[in-house]
Structure 1
């Protein structure tokens, strides 16, 4: 994991802009584009966060921004695990990530998953179950659950970060254009 962070820290993070669109509308291209949209939103929602922002929450009984970023990381792992046909092992092992590490790992998971889904045949989606494993017990769910579950949840929580940082006084770059997937000039 340390090697991943060291290597990725030397390269620009993915999703400063949304990649060029595919020419076809296959299942893989649509899922890939959805992940790319999430990656773009996440990149800009997390760009320029401060330590003060990370501990901000709307109320005492809600997640702060850091906790929400950690949750999105776990969701990104599930999105990647499904296409790589790996289980989501529970209980999760918690780690103390820095903001940079969270961004690197989350964006890397999304980029790898996007590419894998883009290259997948429509028939391959029958094998992209969301699998939870706790001890010897394994529970699979069809890919559809990933769409309305982890993928939608990550988009939802990304919006929470945008809102929370705005309330905290550090809004995202106003040039971010989610419709075009790039910064306005």
Structure 2
């Protein structure tokens, strides 16, 4: 009697355990594929700034910029209502190129017209500022290794240059579409950095 009851209890436990189990898919090596926790914070503890920049370039920079880039009108409105602290945003503009400034070979700039004013956009090979990093939404507290956060700007700036086409004086006078990151500070545009450039038909 006791043995039969104990057996029934054991069978009930097994059934309960099986019911609580979740079927997990296996990879090609037979190891379980665990779903990604959507609330988990990305961990960059063991990665270099260069690795972080390369890994996140498409989703955090290009995809985000294409989805959220401001046009010239939205940018103008934002400039009229400056925030207390600098903010960086993605912007997409199509404008004739006024000139290509190569006076400093290491810090070349593409100059376009924005609402009647010239806007110099950095095209490298050296890009300065934190516009790209800060436009992604990354914050200081996202990183346990704060050196990574400090150096991520330079890594992103170098990554941007890798994806830009060769620009020379022949671009002057021709329309171009520029996807960029820029910092707004006290109603002024600073450290505009090109993410993608495309010549348009005249």
**TM-score over 0.5 for the alignment?**
no
Q: Higher relative contact order at CA 8 Å, sep ≥6: structure 1 or structure 2?
A: 1
> TM-score scaled to structure 1, two decimals?
0.31
Higher Cα Rg: structure 1 or 2?
2
> TM-score scaled to structure 2, two decimals?
0.29
* Structure number with higher strand proportion: 2
